Amino acid sequence: MEFLVEETGKGQKIFNTLMIKDKKALSALSSDLSFKILKELTNSPQCAIDIARKLKQHEQKIYYHIRRLEKYGFIKLERVEERVGATAKIYSLTSPSISFKIFDEDHYYSIKTKPLETKFLSPFIQDAKLNSLIIVGSPDPHGKYKASASDGYSVILLGTYFGQFINKINLPIYKLDTQVNESDLKKNLILVGGPKTNIITQKINEKLPIYFDYSEEIKDWTIISTLSKKTYREKEIGVICRIKNPFNEEREVLFLSGMGFRGTLSATIALIKHSTEIQSGNINDSKSIAKVVKGVDEDSDGIIDEVEFLE
């Protein structure tokens, strides 16, 4: 995937872009009518006849330009529809922007620009601002299980990671689960910790595609995946899920937790080091952003520093 980065006074604007590699493709853009067709397709996917009527052009003229735009990848066939006994090909834009590299020099390497991560973190980080609330369990005994959370260090890791994408921080960036009010729940939420130690996670646990369940058989918590039908019990197991916010369908929830503090650390490391892998979705359902990872101590110092993806 390629991107166009535009520097503005408010920060960087990042767009998906179509990188043209064949100079012949530029000829398809030499006509004003080609640009008018592209402009029409920014509104919605359409067929040649619809575009011809709107632009008041002969249908064959539109077909000619559509064939050329499709040949060079500027537009793509979205679907085929049956209309009054005829077949209509519906086209859409391939990308909102187009780029052409004349030669491969005078480029700059940057650690600032991370378009894939920026795209994935939206809307939790929007326009270089934290547009969400991190909620972590209280370190004091609380909630149904009178448990004390030990996941607070993950907020430090998350804060360090998010700092790469944020120009301005409005405090507080996090709250303890015991401090959250009703209006807080309407925001984009980043929940750290499972239902035993985080009472907000407890409220949405059943909505998660990979959830936590207390097993009477072993007198301990287990992680159950509705996607793979597998059960996980190891303390190094972490879960990363992204779902619609059950308290406000216009917002989202990013959930990071594990069987214990080592599992939550594993989930946090997975987000920081492997967000691209997380974006690919679950191996059993690519549309579901729900991953199970296992923490690994690569350098044998007793601290988890890498993860393996289990699903």
**pLDDT, tens digit, for every residue of 246-266?**
999 999 999 999 988 999 999
Q: Which two tokens stand for residue 43?
A: 């509104």
Which residues in the chain are classed under CATH 1.10.10.10?
Answer: 3-99
176 forms bridges with which residues in the sheet?
136
Reduced to 3 states (helix: H, G, I; strand: E, B; else coil), residue 153 is helix
Report whether pLDDT(59) > 60: yes
Query: Mean pLDDT across the chain, nearest whole number?
Result: 91
Mean pLDDT computed over 84-104: 87
Confidence (pLDDT) at 108: 60
Q: Does domain 115-309 have CATH number 3.40.50.300?
A: no
Q: What is the mean pLDDT of residues 199-228?
A: 94
Tell whether the model's pLDDT for residue 79 goes beyond 90.
Answer: yes
State the number of CA atoms in the 13 A half-sphere of 86 facing the CB. 6
Please say whether the beta carbons of 35 and 68 come within 8 A. no
Please state the rounded mean pLDDT for residues 283-311.
95
Per-residue confidence (pLDDT) for residue 105, from 0 to 100 = 67
Residue 77: beta bridge partners?
91
Range list for CATH 3.30.379.10 in the chain: 115-309
Q: Which CATH number fits domain 3-99: 3.30.70.1230, 1.10.150.170, 1.10.10.10, 3.40.50.300?
A: 1.10.10.10
Mean pLDDT, rounded, for 59-79:
94
| Beta strand residue intervals within the chain, DSSP E | 3-8, 11-20, 75-83, 86-93, 97-100, 125-126, 129-130, 133-136, 174-176, 189-192, 210-215, 220-225, 231-232, 237-245, 248-258, 290-296, 306-309
